Amino acid sequence: MTLKVISALVLTTIFWLGFIFVIFQVPYPESLTSANTTQLISFFVPLYLSLIFTLNIFLKNISISASLSLGLIFLLILKALDSLNLVTGLLILISVYLLVSYFKKGGSSGLTLSSKIPKLHSLRRRRH
């Protein structure tokens, strides 16, 4: 195994251990709606980071991993609030798909396909 793979596995393990620590140490509320901000942050942030780095091991793209993890967290929150239905589930899936497809492109760094916009190109020439 290379150093990159080992460091990714160690980082993922650390975040999962942190999430397990939060599960056992932070007092859990009666329901999600009665939870205070500290409880919510201490649960969802380690879960989000654990999911990101776990997915990143397989996908090798941190942006796509973060998008998928965010979608899973949103689905989990909606399920806990008993608000998950066909419409909200489809909206989250569509938004995650759009985010993933945007980050999959990767090749273009600008807003246009052509890197030479005539007005900007002529302005750059006048300055130099």
Domain ranges of the chain: 3-127
Beta-carbon contacts of residue 48 (< 8 Å; ≥ 6 apart): 69, 70, 73
* Calpha distance 118→112 (Å, rounded): 12
More confident residue, 111 or 39: 39
Which pTM was predicted? 0.77
In the chain, pLDDT over 90 holds for what percent of residues?
66
Average pLDDT over residues 104-115: 62
* Calpha distance 83→51 (Å, rounded): 22
Confidence at 65, pLDDT banded by 50, 70, 90: very high
Q: Which residues of 47-76 are buried (b: 16+ CB within 10 A; e: fewer)?
A: bbbbbbbbbbeeeebebbbbbbbbbbbbbe
Residue 119, pLDDT score: 64
* Calpha distance 92→89 (Å, rounded): 5
Half-sphere exposure of 1 (CA within 13 A, CB side): 8
Decide if 41 contacts 19 (C-beta within 8 A): no
| DSSP-based helix, strand, coil % in the chain, nearest 5 | 75, 0, 25
Q: How far is CA 117 from the centre of its chain?
A: 33
Residue 109, pLDDT score: 56
Confidence at 79, pLDDT banded by 50, 70, 90: very high
Confidence at 120, pLDDT banded by 50, 70, 90: low
Residue 110, pLDDT score: 57
Arithmetic mean of pLDDT over the chain: 87
Residue 5, pLDDT score: 86
